[in-house]
Amino acid sequence: MTKARRGESEFWRHRPVFVTGATGLLGSWLTEALLARGASVVALVRDLVPKSRLRQSGMESQVTVVRGAVEDGMVLERAINEYEIRTVFHLAAQTIVPIANRNPLSTFESNIRGAWNLLEACRRAPAVQQIVVASSDKAYGEQETLPYSESQPLQGRHPYDVSKSCADLIAQSYHRTFGTPVCVTRCGNFFGGGDLNFNRLVPGAIRSALHAEAPVIRSDGSLVRDYIYVRDGAEACLLLAEKMSADPAILGEAFNFSTEERSTVLQMTERILRLMGQGNLRPVVLNEARHEISKQYLSAAKARARLGWAPRYPLDAALTETIAWYREHFGRT
């Protein structure tokens, strides 16, 4: 389990917390951090995922599981009221860009309808004090000025990007219109142990290297992205919720969280191979990616200044931890 630093547990001890997307990558690490701080976690779980980190680690038995989907507003309203939830982390989403391109309606249902259902349920629940909605750097769409800052407009154009722009704006509108206590996080590409979506770059490259196979890159390898370790992402969510309680002036605002160390897809793949001692492998570049933005990366200046946030894990150290997790997962040395 993740150990909380001294003094961090007081805010969370016995606090009823609702986490959507708890079986996902960020959700499992956030749930672990909350349990380490003594929170009473209620997890919304749509699908039974036997190999999810939430279940494999034994955390599922330590939380209250509510079965249902964010598309079902009645389930959300019942859970939030019945368990007298005080803090909400809305992480549930369809997160795979190619799936959004193939099947946009299910992505819109999950990512947009899910956002307004969650916020409406919270608006009608008097006990809720903080809501953290996970958006994405994709919400910015394609911009002439980089890195992205929070003052730039949200202008997604393709299905996944649009879904994140919409959810982000809906969250802000609930604060502006109803005073709902919500803030938004915008992060780059999460990576870390427990991600079983092997069509994503980092887990896919690690799995290939563990089997001495050439990693496959869907794009031409030149896409520039912002990569953030999931443990840093979980800490960012916790810190933001704590700051929302201490400083109501930040309610309704969005914050970028980034290591500010951007990399091309090819560079990231080669870095993983180097760290795994498989530098002799050459990635297979398919150049099949469509409707993806060529360059996306974030400025975290606002989070540093307003929240005092900084990432704890250098990229190589984070990748080394992640590689170790997959070595154990696949039983390989």
C-alpha distances out from residue 219 to 98, 100, 165, 291, 297, Å: 11, 16, 23, 11, 17
Taking Cα atoms as reference points, which of 41, 37, 16, 38 lies closest to residue 28?
41
Q: Where exactly are the structural domains of the chain?
A: 12-190+228-260+294-312
Tell me which CATH homologous superfamily contains domain 12-190+228-260+294-312.
Answer: NAD(P)-binding Rossmann-like Domain (3.40.50.720)
Report, as an integer, the average pLDDT of 299-321.
Answer: 97
Is 326 one of the annotated active-site residues of the chain? no
The whole-model pTM stands at: 0.94
Residue 318 CA to residue 233 CA, distance in Å, equals 12
pLDDT at 333 exceeding the cut of 60:
no
pLDDT at 110 exceeding the cut of 60:
yes
Q: Which residues pair with 190 in a beta bridge?
A: 228
pLDDT digits (tens, 9 = 90+) for 219-258: 999 999 999 999 999 999 999 999 999 999 999 999 999 9
Residue 280 CA to residue 27 CA, distance in Å, equals 35
| Cβ–Cβ under 8 Å, residues 37 and 8 | yes
pLDDT at 1 exceeding the cut of 90:
no
206's CB contacts (< 8 A; 6+ apart) are 272, 276, 322, 323, 326
Tell me, what's the pLDDT at 69? 96
Check 140, 148, 160, 227 and give the catalytic one.
Answer: 160
pLDDT digits (tens, 9 = 90+) for 7-58: 556 999 999 999 999 999 999 999 999 999 999 999 999 987 778 899 888 9
C-alpha distances out from residue 280 to 54, 211, 214, 258, 270, Å: 35, 13, 9, 30, 10
Q: Please give the DSSP secondary-structure letter assigned to residue 264.
A: E
Tell me, what's the pLDDT at 6? 46
pLDDT digits (tens, 9 = 90+) for 180-191: 999 999 999 999
Contacts by residues 301-307 (CB-CB < 8 Å, ≥ 24 positions apart): 301/149, 302/149, 302/150, 302/255, 302/256, 303/236, 303/255, 303/256, 303/257, 306/243, 306/250, 306/255, 307/239, 307/240, 307/243, 307/250, 307/255
pLDDT digits (tens, 9 = 90+) for 141-171: 999 999 999 999 999 999 999 999 999 999 9
With bands split at pLDDT 50, 70 and 90, how would you rate the model's confidence at 290? confident
Tell me, what's the pLDDT at 9? 67
